[in-house]
Structure 1
């Protein structure tokens, strides 16, 4: 059993909805970087808020790895999600902007890219609609694949039959493995992306050390 961080929350996660404010050092780091110093609200591991509703103001949801178990080649992990809010968390009118946050458990500083409400909404709806169309088309391609795949054809028509079945296999796979994930991605799309760790020298790293966005 591995404990990736020596945080005060322990292995069992947090209970209730108490609020924690960052310490003086963390506030100084935020102020020097121009980021918000708003309040931080922790929630228990099983109380992960669904942030699928897009608004002009927003909150950040940060996952922190609190436990990892290794059994042979299988590794299981346990994550604690923290909801971080601030009055300064407002989407830009156009394009993207960056926002800073601190992990309430291990006190590391991170940045994310936040899309404008219009951009995030368009992406969410596009992914949802395209994914839904592809997923529903599975009801067309799969019966056709079963129908043509079970037919016996003459040797002269074998090439055409193979081409038809092959095309249906590809279309079925796209509907299943692209359509459904795209639909689910669109449903929960928040326009908050590119989590980066802020190092002590002010540079950023893609290696987020046991943290992730939902």
Structure 2
């Protein structure tokens, strides 16, 4: 089950950085998080839609892309399936890697070295990318692409001090 179910309404969780505390080994960032619009707004029925939001703390204007509920659910499902396939691929790649790694290889046998390299790459992808996809599937809600709106109406990718939660 997803942490945040995708419904026909969306909420933008906009964070405005309040302070940054630097320690000897840790940097702590404090955020002021606002959920806009209050109570949520209906998702678009066809295609993605860009909506405008204003940070209530600092007054900056932003554009946020909102996906349809169907598209967001499909993306979440695809990420989850690919993540599980990569994690489950470890059941095949790790034993093969152990078996081939324990064999003596003739000098100049490049095929065995290539096989071990390929299996190692697949195992690394299964161990790193698989859990990453599973994690991102759990937090994907179809609201993203935060862009700062300039005074001339152009969108900037640099949104210093703000992020979506």
Q: TM-score, normalised by structure 1?
A: 0.68
| C-alpha contact (below 8 Å) 1:51/1:190 kept by paired residues | no
Partner Cα distance (2:66, 2:21) in 1: 33
| C-alpha contact (below 8 Å) 2:11/2:39 kept by paired residues | no
Residue ranges of structure 2 left out of the alignment (5+ in a row): none
Q: Which moved more, 1:66-75 or 1:98-107?
A: 66-75
Partner of 2:117: 166
| C-alpha contact (below 8 Å) 1:89/1:99 kept by paired residues | no
Partner of 1:141: 93
Residue ranges of structure 1 left out of the alignment (5+ in a row): 1-49
Residues 152-190 of structure 1, C-alpha deviations (whole Å, 9 max, x = no match): 23336x322212111101111111222221121112111
| C-alpha contact (below 8 Å) 2:13/2:36 kept by paired residues | yes
Partner of 1:202: 153
Q: TM-score, normalised by structure 2?
A: 0.86
* Matching residue within 41, 50, 53 for 1:101: 53
Could you say what secondary structure the match of 1:84 adopts? strand
| C-alpha contact (below 8 Å) 2:100/2:116 kept by paired residues | yes
Higher strand share: 2
Does the alignment pair 1:59 with 2:46?
no
Does the alignment pair 1:128 with 2:87?
no
| C-alpha contact (below 8 Å) 2:50/2:66 kept by paired residues | yes
CA RMSD of aligned residues (A): 2.4
Could you say what secondary structure the match of 1:152 adopts? coil
Partner of 1:32: none
Runs of 4+ in 1 over 6 A off after TM superposition: none
| C-alpha contact (below 8 Å) 2:52/2:64 kept by paired residues | yes
Does the alignment pair 1:92 with 2:44?
yes
Matches within 5 A, 1:6-85: 52-70=4-22, 75-85=27-37
